[in-house]
Amino acid sequence: MKRLSGWISAMLLMTSATSFAADAPATLATRLLDQLDAAQYSAAEAMFSAEMKAAVPADKLQAVWESLPAQMGAAGKRGDAQTSEAEGFRIVVIPLEYAKGRLQARIVLDKDDKVVGFLVQPAAPPPATAPAVDAAFIEQPFIVPIGPEGKNGLPGTLALPKGNGPFPAVVLVHGSGPQDRDETIGPNRPFLDIARGLAAQGIAVLRYEKRTHARPQDFSGAFSIDDETTDDAVAALAALTATAGIDAKHIYVLGHSQGGMLAGRIAKASDGKLAGLVLLAAPVRPILDILAEQNRYLVSLDGSISAEEHAHLDALNAAIAKVRRDPDATLMNLPGRFWQQLEQVDPVADVRGSGLPVLLLQGGRDFQVVDAEWQLWKKGLQGERYRFHHYPALNHLGITSNGKGGMAEYEQPGHVDTGLIDDIAQWIKARP
């Protein structure tokens, strides 16, 4: 898999609904995939809502769908459709087998049987096993209240040490894109590993569904980085502060990737609720520059760049230039205003301005957030309140990696390095 931006990732543009048309959602979703396989892209587009037609017209649908075999090998059989409902929408997930791995199509239908959301993504792994009965912690459901008067909520899990509290606590803040509470990527669940590893050492950990994953209907039209990340992290901090068994004076944010980039911004908005920040694989430079570099790196992994790949890079560079000057343009189905705001973030200045102690962690085999970012952090943050740990063998997920990094490594099962988790626990426990 050579591209970061190859998946169909249209925003799930939705309106409220209370009743459904007669056709079974699995039948409709299967019909859509049949049309794509038959190269009937105009017919597939006809199943879309007006918003989806604008976001993913037939030509774009064709380009992405036909790129999948090139990345994943020959298409095989499909798995059984699974259907669920959420706030008046029907969601159908269909497993897709390819020679080089498994994907899944996630199709969202409204009351009029129109497709209002379509996402192709790596297949979800089997559910995680529950903690052992004799584990040093328990896991309990947790809702992060959002929206007016907290009427809505993001589902989460609180890993709470057994015994007498109060316990220091950490809120995990995701990287870019729609992420679940475990930050599941292929068979890997880095946030699950970190949460359970810290909880076993007496530190409570809250992980929650990112709003773009749990409530994509909130993201039609223009939205900000605060809508996507900051505000919900602040809400999670406030909810955790009021939770029994938690030491409200010792709550930390651990931000991964984009979450680390925004950690200082979260601290500023948290109204003094934080005791410190942990940044894992956090970028510093403009995010669109990094996106372009990542794509150039990935297409060159096999030692050559094909004409199709050159065209992809040219199209990406043109799209980046457009969203930088036009707030109404889109890139990867995110509005230009979002990208422009994200590029205005100065992560180093925000972290410095927080006045908080900071632990920074970086893997030496990270091809997404590279050594240039690490050096900028080290140059910009000097003094006793900053601690740096570098792990030569770890990738972007904090998992041991071998060879030259690429997207395929995320399909290999692994776990976040226990030494990295131990370093976080020791740093938190050493806080006065």
Is 257 one of the annotated active-site residues of the chain? yes
Strands (E) in 25-127, as ranges, are: 75-78, 82-86, 89-98, 101-109, 115-122
Catalytic residue among 174, 250, 312, 396: 396
Q: How far apart are alpha carbons 83 and 131 in whole angstroms?
A: 28
Please name the residue that has the structure tokens 């009965």. 133
End-to-end CA distance of the chain: 46
According to DSSP, the residues that pair with 122 across neighbouring strands are 103
366 is a catalytic site residue: yes
Asked if residue 166 has a cis previous peptide bond (ω within 30° of 0), the answer is: yes
- Of 257, 270, 354, 401, catalytic: 257
Taking Cα atoms as reference points, which of 228, 238, 237 lies closest to residue 345? 228
Phi, psi of 257 (to 5 degrees): 55, -120
Residue indicated by tokens 């898999």: 1
Active-site residue flag, 23: no
Contacts of 363 (CB under 8 A, 6+ apart): 281, 390, 391, 392, 393, 394, 395, 396, 398, 401
How far lies 208's CA from each of 121, 142, 154, 183, 425, in Å? 20, 8, 6, 9, 20
DSSP state of 148: G
* H or E element that contains 84: strand 82-86
Which residue of the set 174, 366, 401, 415 is catalytic?
A: 366
Strands 89-98 and 101-109: antiparallel
Token digits of residue 321: 């230039």
Work out whether strand 330-331 and strand 334-335 pair parallel, antiparallel, or are unpaired. Answer: antiparallel
Helix (H) or strand (E) holding 140: strand 137-146
Length of the chain: 432
Give the amino acid at 145: P
Angle at 196 between CA 191 and CA 199, to 5 degrees: 120
Which positions are catalytic?
A: 257, 366, 396
